[in-house]
Structure 1
């Protein structure tokens, strides 16, 4: 069992990490040539993404240069409403991200109080979003929509690969994915219900912690970046 310890106000609270992954495909317009060129310059010149890197992109510039951006948000709003989350998206923080694959990791040490809601904007590059602990494997293409618990290990890997390998993301390969990500508050009733989150599963342990973290089977643990498997840490 995975347990997330996260900040709730001024205190650390415990919860079970959900193994539910919501996914679907929404109708997203093709980004304009101007926007695609801007993304290419940003990822190749400023970010210089290495294999496995996930970095933030300038959202405001994309919003200004892409009139259809609002259609992306509306499509995602409609989808989250269908998933039982009718109001949470509009009040959640959003960011534009780029990745050149992604090593297996969890985000529970920084975003333990949230679920991620991602909308992928790039064409199919032969990559999957893989959750090794749950078995979910989601092909990434334009319009792929996903909601998942930040404490759940995940990575972006080649479609026919069993794990993350940096050699799969050579410089001459077009394998960068651009996506929007919203931080949905895990304590929101809609979010907790959709992911079936169980709270306060280890209150005694939470009292003694002063930072966000994820434990596996009652002990501190880390994720192997190549396989996604958990291992204990001292």
Structure 2
């Protein structure tokens, strides 16, 4: 669904758009809720979204891959295996997919790192989001260290899916991104890029740079009432 309003000019309307975006993609049913129950789950975050969009570090520039906030639904509520097929490229029709490089049962082991503090959250806002194309061609380990040095956090798999679900424009050729906030204890780093004219969730090695793969990050996460 197109978003005619900038989140910075009308954050409340942008939050409502993101909620409706998930409803139209069957998130309530996938979570075992009806639309009203789902909206009640996320409604307390609306005021937080308005406040975040007014913050000094809020930025909205889709061409540069920056958005002020995202509504994120954790995999414990709706599994990644269900959310990825509900993504498409901007203007595309082919559904996103999880790459076969994830051997059976391995995707579940890619969990949020302690540093993200995202573990245990069900519905929340990610804010100050950047696609991180400045790190294209940089070794992922180096990129992750640079981001940590700036006091920013790495995106998890769910957050990467949320980014391309709400803003498919940010996933473009040669400007794709890794998701260092989800790890499984080995050298693999999840990433989302374009394959077969659709978004693909795969992984790359932490020591191998790719010219078309940056490192996504965010200023932080917010739950209702913080």
**Larger Cα-atom Rg:** 1
Q: With the length of structure 2 as denominator, give the TM-score of the two structures.
A: 0.26
Bigger proportion of residues as strand: 1
The higher relative CO (CA closer than 8 Å, separation ≥ 6) is in 1
